C-alpha cells in the first residue's frame, strides 16, 4: 500500500514565507517608535507636573517684602525650608497648615514684648501693634478721666519697653475754719473819761474752704484750695471809751507852798513822751519807725504754709513777717492805717525796715501792693483799755 501524502500547493507555501518575512522586518521599527513615543510622553508629563509644582509667593515680614520660589505645598514647610522661626504671639495672614498657591501674598507681624504696670500690678505682654495706644486698646486696657500713661499713646512700641498707666482721681472736699473777730475801740463822748462799755459783743465768723485733692494710684499727690465762701460773717467786738470830761469839783483855794520838782517826776515826764493814743487806746511804745516798706503775702501762694516761724498759725488781722533784728518775734506793733499786728513770721526777703502783712486771700495780698507806713514798736504785751 502506498502512503497518503497531503496535497501542498506551491502558491500556499510561498505566501506564508512572505508574511513571516514582512513581519520580521516591520516589528522592530514599530516597537522602537512606540518606545520613543512612550518616553517622550512620560517626559512631557514629568515636565508638566514639575512645572505645576513650582510656585512664586511674596512674604511680608514686619513690612519687609521678599519674593520666594518654592515647590512646597504647606506654609509650615516653606517656613522650615527658609529657616524662618515664629513665636507664639506672632500674627500670620494664613494658617501654618494652609496650602499655598502661586502668587500668594503672606503677611507676618512679629510680636514685641513689653512690661505694663497698671492698678498696682506689672505684667509681661506681647503686641504686634505699632503704637502704645493701639497696643493697650487691643489688649483691653483703657484710660479714664484724668488717667495718664507713660510714655505717651503715640509712642512707637519697642522691644522690652516699660509702660505705666497712672490712675488719677480728683475729689473736692469742704473744710470749715473760724474767722476771729476784731476788737474795735471807739471814743464815746456820752461816757465820762475812765468809763468803758462793750457796745457790741464779738462773734467769730465761719468760712467754708473748698479743697481739691488729687490722688495718683490711690495715694494723695497734691491738694489746693480752689475756692472759699463765708458762711457766717464775723461780728467785731466794739468797746466804747468815754471821753466826756469829769465835772470839776469845787475846790477851796488855800495858799500852799510850791512843791519841789523831784527827779522822779522828771523821769515820769520823759516816759510820757513815748506814749501815744491810737484807735482809742493809749499805749507806750519803745520806738517809732517811719517809712516802713509794707508788702503782703498769703498761704495760698505755692510753698507758703499755714505755720509761722514762731510756731503759731497764720491769722489775718494779726500776723506779720518781720526782720527779728529790727522787731523781736512775739512783739506787738501798731501800723498806721492797719492797726495792731504781732510779729510772728519771718521771710528771706524781709530785711531791715520792711514788713510783710498776712492775708488769707491771695487776691487781697496781691492787691495790697507796696506801701510806706509809720510803725510803733510796742512790746510783747498787746495794749488794752485801762
- Does domain 55-109 match CATH 3.30.428.10? no
pLDDT above 90 for 85: no
Q: Note whether 178 and 204 are within 8 A (CB).
A: yes
Q: How far is Cα of residue 56 from the mean position of the Cα atoms in its chain?
A: 54
Residues 35 and 32: their CA atoms lie apart, in Å, by 5
**What string of DSSP letters covers 100-145?**
P-TT-EEEEEPPEEEEEEETTEEEEEEE--SBHHHHHHHTT----T
Pairing mode, strands 55-61 and 105-109: parallel
Q: Write out pLDDT tens, residues 181-238.
A: 999 988 888 888 878 889 899 999 999 999 999 999 888 989 899 998 889 989 999 9
| 270/309: higher pLDDT | 309
Q: What is the domain class of 172-239 according to CATH?
A: mainly beta
For the 273-379 domain, the top CATH level (class) is: mainly beta
Does residue 167 sit in helix, strand or coil?
Answer: coil
**pLDDT value of position 294:** 96
- Binning pLDDT at 50, 70 and 90, where does residue 267 land? very low
Q: 311: left (phi > 0), else alpha (psi -120 to 50), else beta?
A: left
What CATH class does 112-166 carry?
A: alpha beta
DSSP category for residue 99: B
pLDDT at 302: 87
Three-state DSSP at 28 gives helix
Q: What pLDDT, on the 0 to 100 scale, is given for residue 68?
A: 86
Q: What is the mean pLDDT of residues 90-105?
A: 88
Question: Residue 321 is placed in which grid cell?
Answer: 513777717
**Cβ proximity of 202 and 181 under 8 Å:** yes
Domain 55-109 and domain 112-166, same fold? Reply is yes
Q: Please, which residues bridge with residue 192 across strands?
A: 244
- Listed in order, strand segments (DSSP E) in 233-384 are 237-244, 275-278, 281-284, 287-297, 319-321, 332-335, 339-345, 354-358, 371-379
Which range (17-31, 226-240, 261-275) has the least confidence? 261-275
- Give me the pLDDT at residue 246, please: 78
* Domain extents in the chain: 55-109, 112-166, 172-239, 273-379
Amino acid at each position: 500500500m502506498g502512503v497518503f501524502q497531503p496535497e501542498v500547493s506551491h502558491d500556499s507555501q510561498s505566501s506564508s514565507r512572505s508574511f513571516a518575512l514582512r513581519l520580521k522586518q516591520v516589528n522592530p521599527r514599530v516597537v522602537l517608535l512606540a518606545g520613543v513615543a512612550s518616553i517622550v510622553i512620560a517626559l512631557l508629563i514629568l515636565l508638566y507636573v514639575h512645572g505645576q509644582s513650582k510656585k512664586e509667593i511674596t512674604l511680608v515680614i514686619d513690612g519687609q517684602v521678599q519674593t520666594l520660589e518654592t515647590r512646597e505645598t504647606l506654609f509650615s514647610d516653606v517656613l522650615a525650608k527658609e529657616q524662618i522661626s515664629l513665636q507664639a504671639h506672632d500674627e500670620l495672614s494664613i494658617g501654618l497648615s494652609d496650602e499655598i498657591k502661586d502668587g500668594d501674598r503672606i503677611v507676618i507681624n512679629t510680636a514685641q514684648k513689653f512690661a505694663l504696670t497698671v492698678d498696682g500690678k506689672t505684667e509681661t505682654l506681647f503686641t504686634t501693634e505699632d503704637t502704645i495706644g493701639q497696643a493697650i486698646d487691643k489688649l483691653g486696657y483703657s484710660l479714664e478721666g484724668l488717667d495718664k500713661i507713660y510714655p505717651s499713646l503715640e509712642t512707637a512700641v519697642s522691644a522690652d519697653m516699660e509702660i505705666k498707666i497712672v490712675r488719677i482721681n480728683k475729689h473736692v472736699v469742704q473744710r470749715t475754719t473760724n474767722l476771729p473777730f476784731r476788737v474795735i475801740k471807739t471814743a464815746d463822748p456820752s461816757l465820762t473819761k475812765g468809763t468803758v462799755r462793750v457796745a457790741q459783743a464779738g462773734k467769730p465768723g465761719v468760712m467754708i474752704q473748698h479743697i481739691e485733692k488729687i490722688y495718683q494710684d490711690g495715694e494723695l499727690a497734691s491738694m489746693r484750695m480752689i475756692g472759699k465762701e463765708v458762711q457766717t460773717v464775723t461780728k467785731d467786738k466794739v468797746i466804747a471809751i468815754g471821753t466826756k470830761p469829769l465835772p470839776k469839783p469845787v475846790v477851796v483855794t488855800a495858799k500852799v507852798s510850791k512843791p519841789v520838782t523831784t527827779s522822779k517826776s522828771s523821769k515820769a515826764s520823759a516816759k510820757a513822751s513815748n506814749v501815744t493814743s491810737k484807735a482809742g487806746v493809749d499805749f507806750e511804745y519803745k520806738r517809732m519807725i517811719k517809712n516802713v516798706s509794707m508788702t503782703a503775702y498769703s498761704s495760698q501762694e505755692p510753698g507758703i504754709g499755714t505755720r509761722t516761724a514762731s510756731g503759731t498759725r497764720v491769722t489775718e488781722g494779726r500776723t506779720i513777717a518781720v526782720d527779728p533784728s529790727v522787731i523781736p518775734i512775739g512783739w506787738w506793733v501798731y501800723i498806721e492805717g492797719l492797726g495792731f499786728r504781732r510779729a510772728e513770721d519771718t521771710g528771706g526777703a524781709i530785711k531791715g525796715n520792711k514788713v510783710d502783712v498776712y492775708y488769707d486771700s491771695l487776691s487781697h495780698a496781691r492787691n495790697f501792693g507796696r506801701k510806706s507806713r509809720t510803725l510803733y514798736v510796742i512790746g510783747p504785751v498787746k495794749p488794752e483799755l485801762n
